[in-house]
Every structure is written in structure tokens, then in C-alpha cells.
Homo-oligomer: A and B are copies of this chain.
């Protein structure tokens, strides 16, 4: 369920008229996504995605998100480009919500991850990092290491309902992460949420990256660590080092990884697992029973965290130093 707000006929007509994109032929709510209300809007001229920003997105961040995708699109990173109204605005209001119209991207996200998907992802992520480097706005990562202990505390020990002993286990892990978290790795704009449902492919070719609503400034290698978790584990929980190697090799063909970045990967991967484990645990404990959205399983990320804890070095991710 990804439509929280209904748009009246008159409001939609008036909104679209301000763009000069022809008359509306169709406007259908899209079932995917959980943060905002998304509509596939078809007009006489083209197809678009119309997004109404719901309460989980801070309106103050919207100029960063919309400006970033505009910036990246202009530099050839395939992502939804904000459409400007006749008055030049990209962030407007519809049905009482901040709203934006963006270009429609062909392609579909892969339901079954294959090796070539990981290669395409690695290449596109590196382009994003390189091309985003001169984007003028910045936004700190609200979900980096300093946010994790407050998140664990906010669960008030109720993680035990999910897995006995988890509070102590995560607290000990946080001690390690907080003491060793790197701060001097190359940094810039990262996507921070490049899960498979945010990456579109057409056949074997990556056709676009979407959903930049966690994008922020952070160390580039943290984006890689997030993707190691999101793309390189099989459904049954095993880590697939071939997929990791494909992703990292394709990335390094576009942007070199320093020794420090490679050495940091195991710890970053633990941190990335912690970040998603904690937000999933918090959501799991705080989603009302009658919610539209089924919360995601936090324990999937506990298994991933434990995998990375047992890793002895970056070689576990298929990294070869002599690329």
C-alpha cells in the first residue's frame, strides 16, 4: 500500500495544467513503496511519477533530494528528473502535501538477483559517487553510527520479544562500532538505500536508480557496505562472494577504492547491517497490528551482522587487490 492521500479531480487537473505537459489521460496509485504516495501519471505527452510526500519525509530535505536527482540526471546518472512547472518550480503542493512530478523511468527492479545485476549496480553506484561530488547542497546522514545507540535505546529492551539476548548482543556490537568507526575515508553524496527495489533494469542493462529519500553525505564505502548486505546474500542467508566480487570490480572500474576503504569494508558492513537491523527492529516493535505495511524482518539483518563479524578481512568479499 503506497497511496495514503487521495487527490481530487479538480486539484489534479489544476496541478497538471501548471506544467504544459498536456491533458491527464490516467493517474493510478502505485502499490510499491511505503514512505510516500506515488502515482503513475499519463498525460497526452508522456508518463510521469507524481509523488505526494507524507509525514515520514522532512519537507526541509526535499530541495536536497530533488536537486540531487536533477544534478545526477544532467550528468548522465539515470534517475528520475524533476519536471519544472511553467513557473520553474519543482517542489509544489497538492492535496495539502508537498508534491513533485518526476520523469518516468523504464525498467523493473529484479526480483531474483543475478550476478550481472550486481555488476550493473556497482558501476552505477560508482558513477553516482563520482558525479555527485560537486553537488552544492549537503545533508548529514541521520542514520549513521551516532544514531544507532539512541535507536537501540528507543526499543526499550523490547527487542527481547523478537530474539532473546538481542539487546546485549547489539549493545556490545555498538561498543565495537563506536570505537572503531572510520571518519577519514573518501566521502561525498551516497544513496544510502540502494536495495534491489530501488534499482531498475531493462533486460541485463541497468536503466535507473530511484528513491533518493535517504541520500546524504557520508563515506562512499558505506554505500558499498549497504549493498553488500542488500544484494549479496542469498534468500536462505548464505553470503555469495561472487556477487560481491562482481559488484566491487564493476565499481572499481569507475572509481578506485583506497587501501583504507578496502580494509574498512568488514567493519562498514557490520555497521550497515546494524543500521538496517535497528530501524527494522524499531519498526517491527512500533507498527500497529492494523497497519497497511508489513514490517520487514529484523532478524534477517542479525544473521548478516554475524556473518560480517566473522570475516577476517576484505578478501571475504571477493576483493582482489590486483584488479
Instruction: Say yes or no for A106: interface residue by CB 8 A criterion.
Output: yes
The answer to whether A107 and B26 touch (CB under 8 A), given A8-B112, A292-B292, is yes
Q: Provide the residues of chain B in CB contact with A30, threshold 8 Å.
A: 28-31
Q: What is the bound-complex CA distance between A292 and B2, given in angstroms?
A: 11
Q: Of B25, B26, B107, B292, which is within 8 A of A1 by CB?
A: B292
Instruction: Say yes or no for A6: interface residue by CB 8 A criterion.
Output: yes
Residues of A within 8 A of B (CB): 1-3, 6-10, 12, 23-32, 40, 42, 47, 104-108, 110-112, 202-203, 289-292
Q: What is the bound-complex CA distance between A32 and B47, given in angstroms?
A: 19
Q: What is the bound-complex CA distance between A27 and B108, given in angstroms?
A: 7
Residue of B whose beta carbon sits closest to that of A107 = B26
Q: Which of A26, A106, A203 has its CB near the most chain B CB atoms (within 10 A)?
A: A26
Contact (Cβ within 8 A) A40 B25 = no
Q: What is the bound-complex CA distance between A12 and B111, given in angstroms?
A: 11
Q: Provide the residues of chain B in CB contact with A106, threshold 8 Å.
A: 25-26, 42
Distance in Å: Cβ of A215 to nearest Cβ of chain B: 22
Distance in Å: Cβ of A3 to nearest Cβ of chain B: 4
Question: What would be 28 A-B contacts, judged by CB atoms less than 8 Å apart?
Answer: A1-B1, A1-B31, A1-B292, A2-B31, A6-B111, A8-B111, A8-B112, A9-B108, A9-B110, A9-B111, A12-B108, A23-B202, A23-B203, A25-B107, A26-B106, A26-B107, A27-B108, A28-B31, A28-B32, A29-B30, A30-B30, A40-B40, A42-B47, A42-B106, A289-B289, A289-B290, A290-B291, A292-B292
Q: Which of A10, A23, A29, A31 has its CB near the most chain B CB atoms (within 10 A)?
A: A31
The answer to whether A24 and B108 touch (CB under 8 A), given A1-B31, A30-B30, A31-B1, is yes
Contact (Cβ within 8 A) A10 B112 = yes
Q: Provide the residues of chain B in CB contact with A107, threshold 8 Å.
A: 25-26
Q: What is the bound-complex CA distance between A10 and B114, given in angstroms?
A: 12
Residue of B whose beta carbon sits closest to that of A200 = B26
Q: What is the bound-complex CA distance between A105 and B25, given in angstroms?
A: 9
